[in-house]
Structure 1
Amino acid sequence: MNDFYKDALTALVFFIGLLGFVSGEFIISSALFATAAISSNVNVNRKRSKPGKIA
C-alpha cells in the first residue's frame, strides 16, 4: 500500500469520527479519532526513519 492510500485511509477514519461526534456517538468517535492519530504518527515515523536503522 503506498503513501497516498495510507493517508486517504487515515483521513477517511478521521472524517467518519467527526461525523460520529456530530451525531452523538462519542465513544465510537473517540476510538476513531485515536485510531487516526495513532496511524498518522506511525506513518510519519516510518517515513522519517531510514531503512536498516533501528529507531
Structure 2
Amino acid sequence: MNNYYKDILTGAVFLLGLFGFISGEFIISSTLFATAAIASNVNMNRKQDDDGHVACEQ
C-alpha cells in the first residue's frame, strides 16, 4: 500500500471520528481520532527514517 492510500485511509478514519463526535458517540470518536493520530505519526516517522529528514513530499 503506497502513501497515497495510507493518507486517504487516515483521512477517512478522521472524518468518521468527526461524524461520530457530532452524533454523540464520544467513545467511538475518541478511538477513531486516536487511530488517525497514531497512523499519521507512524507514517510521518517512516518518511523521516527513509529520507533522514521530515518531508511532506516524496
TM-score, normalising length from structure 1?
0.89
The one-letter code of the counterpart of 2:5 is Y
Alpha-carbon distance in 2 for matches of 1:14, 1:40: 10
Query: For structure 1, which runs of at least 5 residues remain unmatched after alignment?
Result: none
Give 1:43's aligned residue: 43
Percent identical among aligned pairs is 69
Moved over 4 A (4+): none
Unaligned runs of 5+ in 2: 52-58
How many residues are treated as equivalent by the alignment? Answer: 51
TM-score by length of 2: 0.85
Superposition deviation, residue 5 in structure 1: 0.1
Q: Who is 2:7 aligned against?
A: 7
Q: Quick one: distance in 1 between partners of 2:37 and 2:50? A: 22
SS at match of 2:14: helix
Using the alignment, how far apart are the partners of 2:7 and 2:28 within structure 1? 21
